[in-house]
A and B are shown apart, each in its own frame.
Chain A
Amino acid sequence: GENVEQHPSTLSVQEGDSAVIKCTYSDSASNYFPWYKQELGKRPQLIIDIRSNVGEKKDQRIAVTLNKTAKHFSLHITETQPEDSAVYFCAARENDSWGKLQFGAGTQVVVTP
């Protein structure tokens, strides 16, 4: 099965700086990589995703890059704001019959004003 590792586990950034979270996956057949944001006590919410036929995707201040050869993908948040503070989870979809999502352990991002 798929194994997803995520780093760092915590990330503290100054408001306005960039934040980068990295994930690696084990199954080269995985083909879909979503990112979820979870604020304290709330539900995980999908913020961006990328498929294996694309190398980069951007949505305003958020971007995701994928390196299939190295089997890693990253989340980039630019011009961070206090409301970006949350736990971010990466995930990879297994290439099984229904596409099970395996999640990384999460990154606690703290944006300080």
Chain B
Amino acid sequence: NAGVMQNPRHLVRRRGQEARLRCSPMKGHSHVYWYRQLPEEGLKFMVYLQKENIIDESGMPKERFSAEFPKEGPSILRIQQVVRGDSAAYFCASSLGPSYNSPLHFGNGTRLTVT
């Protein structure tokens, strides 16, 4: 059973470009979470999605950031018009059910560098 798959592993974007980060959850998992990790900091919650639904986006910046988890295909975290402060590691996690009854399994992350 493959784990949570994220791609790309590394992404370099110039200021003003768009970044698209992809996440395929573990097989059978329909709950996806995105976390951001700044250098030498903890994991900060961004958004929680189920298939075709955003359940909680309280950690998402109000502008430029969006997320989706379509019926078919991976979850996408999209950052428009990136700025240097967006440079971070973005981790996706999935679970079998809501996290109150299922542990989170993390992917290897996408390290975004904005130049």
- Contacts from A to B (Cβ < 8 Å): 6, 32, 34, 36, 42-46, 49, 89, 93, 98-106
Q: Find the B residue at minimum CB distance from A106.
A: B42
Residues of A near B3 (CB, < 8 A) are 43
**Distance between A4 CB and nearest chain B CB, rounded to angstroms:** 8
In the bound assembly, the distance between CA atoms of A98 and B45 in angstroms comes to 13
B12 within 8 A of A: no
B41 lies within 8 A of A105 (CB): yes
B80 within 8 A of A: no
In the bound assembly, the distance between CA atoms of A100 and B104 in angstroms comes to 11
B108 within 8 A of A: yes
For A32, give its contact among B40, B100, B107 (CB under 8 Å).
Answer: B100
B34 within 8 A of A: no
A46 lies within 8 A of B56 (CB): no
A98 lies within 8 A of B99 (CB): yes
B48 lies within 8 A of A100 (CB): yes
A103 lies within 8 A of B42 (CB): yes
B42 lies within 8 A of A49 (CB): no
B98 within 8 A of A: yes
**Distance between A35 CB and nearest chain B CB, rounded to angstroms:** 11
For A89, give its contact among B43, B48, B107 (CB under 8 Å).
Answer: B43
In the bound assembly, the distance between CA atoms of A32 and B104 in angstroms comes to 12
In the bound assembly, the distance between CA atoms of A105 and B43 in angstroms comes to 7
A44 lies within 8 A of B91 (CB): yes
**Distance between A91 CB and nearest chain B CB, rounded to angstroms:** 8
Q: Find the B residue at minimum CB distance from A105.
A: B42
In the bound assembly, the distance between CA atoms of A44 and B99 in angstroms comes to 16
The proximity string for B residues 79-107 relative to A, scoring 1 for CB distances below 8 Å and 0 otherwise, is: 00000000000010000001111011111
A98 lies within 8 A of B103 (CB): no
Q: Find the A residue at minimum CB distance from B55.
A: A98
Could you tell me which residues of chain B, from 21 to 65, have a CB within 8 Å of some CB in chain A? 35, 40-45, 48, 55-56
Given contacts A43-B109, A106-B41, contact A99 B98 (CB under 8 A): yes
For B103, give its contact among A6, A49, A100 (CB under 8 Å).
Answer: A49
B98 lies within 8 A of A46 (CB): no
Q: Find the B residue at minimum CB distance from A101.
A: B99
